[in-house]
Structure 1
């Protein structure tokens, strides 16, 4: 069982356009409404590929009811924590080359008793879990060390913890010594306090995060694949996508596949890459079904090409 925690979930509308031009009327080619939030997406990917998962999230307003209905249709076990405010609604605009422009609302303000209720729900839901994923941004009102305190409690109880967040919430969580962190390139550079322009930079930045408390670092590098840095060293892998449709949720699919395959080592990295590539080939934030996976496309490299420059776009 993999439990996910999404402190700031959303209802996500994805609109596909031929081109995005400011100040004009644009006719969309297609639109999709999906559940949103990093932890939510991890649970969606796991459920779509037949793995047991439980999602913990605050829920309020019409959007909260819509989100719960969407997730229930995906067969995900839900732990809903009632809040006074309404779950946020986000919009992603996707262009034909896969470029995504996102408009994310800040989310509802959670008062202290609501934050405490979410934390208590996590502790209860995590009983006998293989992994707990603490993911995404924190809504207004929730303290920056929310994930850090949860991770400390869970780790003391023997539960493995993965963190996928950003900014102060991510930096604070490192001090709780999580078993795994999953930054993208931008988050990796921010947390390590250094530019990440090459694979060698990414390895060095991952080393900084490990020195600050993380046992292992799984870094999504967009079109350059993903990097795993742990006690065994560094492994880089790629899975080319012939026709990218949307990168929304690809990093979440990477993490879901990695954990589903055991959460450590090259084999888990390869599985995560297959899931991420499949998600990138689907519209909106859809998660792949078994028929969407092409594990033969995954390439793990014998050595990390440290001088290789990373491409500028990092959409994961």
Structure 2
């Protein structure tokens, strides 16, 4: 089974308007509401691709209930922990020429609630996949990803980590199955400027040397790079299309990689499927569908 964890899910309220004028009443042209959070995005795209999974994490209040309803409506199984106090956050994304965001803080996660999550992790077994994605709420220990990786280390679970900075560097000693920084995050990890593909491959290899089994570096419209567990390097372009949505493309790449890898056991197939799935979300108003992914897959070289 595949499990995703989203510590601080949200309702994403997306509004479009011609102009945004601070201090005035603004009228929207259109608006949408989605269940948001990197782990939730991975779960929904996996389900769109026909892969069963269970979404873990924390929800609170009426917004939490709506998040769970929408995730289940997308066909995913959920096993969220319901917090007694507070409410799951609402993130407002205003698209008016440029895009602006107001992200909520989210509810407090107590020590008892954190212990509940560990009890759920006890159900994981050898061959399962656990996806840890996104930032850590301020109410949790900064090393929570490390603690989780250490907790499941003896179980034979494949872990996939999609986060940034020290959160990512500090889990490498637990040998995650796959990590996926983008090229900007890669440069920040090592405090360097990346001048071309050779530099990107060099530093991706360093992450593998530091413990990651497989490393994918996403580069938006410039494609992606895979350094696999045998040290092989694959460089992919991306299909052509109009970018309509930047939200969830990286999460979709993770979901596509899992799907492609599970179907054939081949890392290269997972990489190719990941690039197609990330592109499918970027070229859509919402998250990738299987139909859109299959349409793009043959264009990947």
Fold equivalence (TM over 0.5): yes
Q: Per-residue deviation at 1:296?
A: 4.6
In terms of mean alpha carbon deviation, does 68-77 or 171-180 score higher?
171-180
SS in 2 for 1:254: helix
Q: 1:116 aligned to 2:115?
A: yes
| Residue of structure 2 equivalent to 1:155 | 153
8 Å CA contact 2:35–2:71 kept in 1: the answer is: yes
C-alpha distance in structure 1 between counterparts of 2:280 and 2:90, whole Å: 25
| Residue of structure 1 equivalent to 2:175 | 177
> Please, which runs of 5 or more residues in structure 1 have no aligned partner?
301-316
Larger RCO (CA under 8 A, 6+ residues apart):
1
Of the candidates 260, 280, 283, which is equivalent to residue 281 of structure 1? 283
Q: How many residues align?
A: 295
| Residue of structure 1 equivalent to 2:102 | 103
Map 1:12-51 onto structure 2 (within 5 A).
Answer: 12-18=12-18, 26-51=26-51
| Residue of structure 1 equivalent to 2:132 | 134
C-alpha spacing 1:163/1:50, structure 2 compared with 1 (3 Å):
same
Q: 1:267 aligned to 2:269?
A: yes
Q: Stretches of 4+ moved more than 6 A in 1?
A: none
C-alpha distance in structure 1 between counterparts of 2:118 and 2:93, whole Å: 29
Q: Per-residue deviation at 1:95?
A: 5.6
> Please, which runs of 5 or more residues in structure 2 have no aligned partner?
none
SS in 2 for 1:227: strand
1:24-54 deviation line (CA, Å, top 9, x unaligned): 6554332211111111000000111211111
| Residue of structure 2 equivalent to 1:304 | none
Map 1:67-82 onto structure 2 (within 5 A).
Answer: 67-82=67-82
SS in 1 for 2:69: helix
8 Å CA contact 2:272–2:297 kept in 1: the answer is: no
In terms of mean alpha carbon deviation, does 35-44 or 80-89 score higher?
80-89
Q: Per-residue deviation at 1:146?
A: 0.9
Q: 1:200 aligned to 2:215?
A: no
Q: Per-residue deviation at 1:197?
A: 4.3
| Residue of structure 2 equivalent to 1:243 | 242
C-alpha distance in structure 2 between counterparts of 1:178 and 1:203, whole Å: 19
How well do the aligned residues superpose, as a CA RMSD in angstroms? 2.2
SS in 1 for 2:131: strand
C-alpha spacing 1:41/1:179, structure 2 compared with 1 (3 Å):
same
C-alpha distance in structure 1 between counterparts of 2:106 and 2:183, whole Å: 24
8 Å CA contact 2:205–2:227 kept in 1: the answer is: yes
In terms of mean alpha carbon deviation, does 100-109 or 30-39 score higher?
100-109
